[in-house]
């Protein structure tokens, strides 16, 4: 995730972007019952996959499915909702991550995760509403991709956000 000077994200464009990786691997990983976590990158990947699932559930709750602009507003609000951090009740990966050492570290983690959530929501929209030459007529008309929304009811590692 390439970011501005305020973020803690690495600015090296040659590195694999965690947001793109999470979106790309979301559907196959959603089918897994277990996941081997080998480092901090895998923890972020799992967190983003859980967030993508919660985004899809939020969009799938709307009947009929929202158009692109309504979905943009919903996902932006969802990214900025108050969310638990490691060490707090309700954090989906509580057993895998340690609590922040102090308030500064807590705010840094919150800021980074909020930035990841916002960017994930923005890029997910491009996948969900990619009509045109390769997309279906429904997508071009503003309906989300039904093959993506089908994953809204799957729970990754039996966890939810």
Percent of the chain as helix, strand, coil, to the nearest 5: 55, 0, 45
- pTM (two decimals): 0.84
Residues 6+ apart with CB under 8 A from 104: none
**How do residues 17-51 score in pLDDT, each as one tens digit?**
999 999 999 999 988 888 888 999 999 999 999 99
DSSP-derived letter for residue 85 is -
143 versus 66: the higher-pLDDT residue is 66
Please give the backbone phi and psi of residue 121, each rounded to the nearest 5 degrees, phi first.
-60, -40
Structural domains for the chain: 18-153 (1.10.1760.10)
Collapsed DSSP state (helix, strand, coil) of residue 54: helix
Lowest mean pLDDT among 9-23, 37-51, 130-144: 130-144
């Amino acid at each position: 995730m390439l970011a501005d000077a305020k973020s803690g994200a690495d600015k090296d464009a040659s590195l694999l972007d965690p947001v793109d990786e999470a979106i790309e691997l979301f559907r196959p990983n959603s089918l897994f019952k277990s996941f081997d976590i080998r480092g901090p990158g895998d923890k972020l990947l799992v967190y983003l996959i859980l967030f993508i699932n919660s985004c899809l559930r939020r969009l799938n709750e709307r009947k009929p499915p929202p158009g692109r602009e309504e979905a943009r507003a919903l996902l932006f609000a969802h990214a900025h909702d108050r969310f638990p951090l490691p060490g707090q009740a309700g954090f989906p990966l509580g057993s895998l991550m340690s609590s922040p050492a102090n308030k500064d570290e807590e705010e840094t983690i919150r800021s980074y995760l909020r930035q990841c959530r916002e960017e994930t929501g923005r890029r997910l929209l491009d996948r969900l509403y990619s009509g045109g030459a390769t997309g279906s007529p429904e997508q071009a008309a503003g309906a989300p991709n039904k093959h993506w929304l089908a994953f809204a009811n799957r729970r990754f590692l039996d966890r939810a956000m």
